[in-house]
A = this chain, B = another copy of it.
Amino acid sequence: MLAPIFRHITANENVFVERLIEYLRQPSISAQDIGIREVAALLETMLGDMGMDVQVIETDGHPMVVGSLPFKPGLPTMLFYGHYDVQPPEPLEAWTSPPFEPTIRDGRVYARGAGDNKGQHFAQILAIESWLKVHGDLPCNVKILLEGEEEVGSPHIEAFVEANRELLKADLVVTADGPLDASGKPVIMFGTRGAVRFDLVAREASRDLHSGNFGGIAPNAAWTLVQLLATMKSPDGTITIDGIYDDIIPPGERERAAADALPVDLDALKREIGIRELDAPRDRPLFDRIMFQPTLTINGIVGGYTGKGIKTVIPCEAQAKCDMRLVDGMAPEKVLSLVEDHVRRHAPGVAVVRQGGGKHPSKTDMDHPFAEALIRAVTLGHEQPPLLYPMIGASGPDSAFTRILGIPAFFVPYANADERNHAPDENIGLEFFHKGIRTGAAIIAQIAASAR
């Protein structure tokens, strides 16, 4: 079934790139509310023209686009997730060619959204279209969900999935987002860390005070904050918030073995991000750090006089913006409560300001039958087997599917490692775009086969 589709994709490579360029021309910047509705309408037409039943569904933010082919009982149902919004393109002067004038150079299309995520979900759409063009039909049920606010943290995905369980009902979800391995090897990811975000706000005197006249008398909001933060994480890297590790479900043997099997070039990594040493504790394996350990990160800290020169004041206010990444077993609401309890005990005058309700971690069984199908599909699309990541360090919308719909969720990225997502000169290599279409077509075949 797949060979004629691959031939169709090869025959249409140039046309597909031209259509990708047309799609990338349309800005859809969620943070700035630019072009979102125009692109949602464009997708409605695009999916409708393929014979899909399409709905553009409002949320409290930007709309979701949901498409599905007519349902055929007895066949497995795949939900493809992607997002049609893009990052703001600034700084514009750093782009070699303008972000919304897609340009081909050195075998890549450069444009905002080329990699993240238009180029990837468009490849998936073309894979479905190719099946329909060549065989007139698909061997499984397919649904597509395209979100319009992933780049602003998917604030409504959970409520949306909750409210549309029937519409989104599926046996698995596949997301083509993020990059391949730096070696060019394809990858499949089975989980994401959760996340919570909060600000810590320390207030002491009613104004900044002279550090000579009041030094020793007036509490210092910056010191209050520093001393509080020092009670939350020890220099050896352990998070010292009571109970924070209690609910963690350690990785199984399968996950740990998969992590251990991943290639590591520590020196190249250090060079790339410009660090001398890994964060404490220094002896922890690289992938253990981002897959199986929670973090407590100060994203930003500010208080008192921070301008040029000197101003000898005692700051009356200081603030830290923090995030925590959560691993399997940790629940955002519980973690935020533990943070609040800790702050109440150690610095009752400091306010904890929650920034949203957080995201659950997501984990999918690496031994799930669909995993085998996806590995076969990716191997067909890329002509080499994928690296298997039990977890990635970042957070995503996956938990909405794994937790609320109760289905396995897989990340199968199509973009090259140097896609420069979120940065100027974002791009997708044409080779990877075409492999993505092939992989998308193969996924449909393999998932259908696995259910037989």
Contact = CB atoms under 8 A, between A and B. Distances in A.
Nearest to A31: B309
A300 B293 contact: no
Interface string A261-281: 000000001000111111110
B310 A273 contact: no
A169 interface: no
A399 to B, nearest CB: 14
B295 A219 contact: no
A211 B322 CA distance: 10
Given A211-B323, A226-B298, A298-B226, A216 B310 contact: no
B394 A213 contact: yes
For the complex of A and B, the 8 pairs showing the least CB-CB separation, nearest first, are A206-B274, A212-B394, A216-B289, A230-B230, A300-B304, A215-B295, A222-B298, A300-B305
A37 to B, nearest CB: 23
B301 A217 contact: no
A218 interface: yes
Contacts of A214: 273, 290, 393
A59 interface: no
29 contacts: A153-B310, A193-B212, A205-B274, A211-B297, A211-B325, A212-B392, A215-B290, A216-B279, A216-B284, A217-B279, A218-B273, A219-B277, A219-B278, A219-B279, A220-B298, A222-B320, A229-B230, A274-B316, A297-B312, A297-B314, A299-B315, A300-B306, A300-B315, A301-B301, A301-B304, A301-B318, A306-B319, A310-B355, A311-B321
B355 A298 contact: no
Contacts of A233: 223, 227
Contact of A298 (B216, B217, B304): B304
Contacts of A286: 217
B315 A209 contact: no
Contacts of A307: 300
How many copies of this chain sit in the oligomeric assembly? 2
Interface in A316-343: 316, 318-321, 323, 325
A213 B298 contact: no
A332 to B, nearest CB: 14
Contacts of A351: none
A287 B392 CA distance: 56
B212 A325 contact: yes
Nearest to A204: B275
A311 B349 CA distance: 25
Interface string A177-215: 000000000000000010101000000111101111111
A315 to B, nearest CB: 7
Interface string A11-39: 00000000000000000000000000000
A313 interface: yes
A304 B310 contact: no
Could you say which of A205, A216, A314 has the most chain B C-beta atoms within 10 Å of its C-beta?
Answer: A216
A413 interface: no
A302 interface: yes
A305 B321 CA distance: 8
Given A205-B275, A274-B205, A302 B299 contact: no
A408 interface: no
A270 to B, nearest CB: 9
Contact of A299 (B193, B216, B305): B305
B321 A216 contact: no
A223 B296 CA distance: 10
Contacts of A204: 275
Interface string A229-244: 1100101000000000
Nearest to A227: B235
A395 interface: yes
Contact of A301 (B197, B269, B295, B302): B302
Interface in A127-177: 153
Nearest to A292: B216
B299 A311 contact: yes
Contact of A279 (B218, B278, B311, B392): B218
Contacts of A279: 216-220
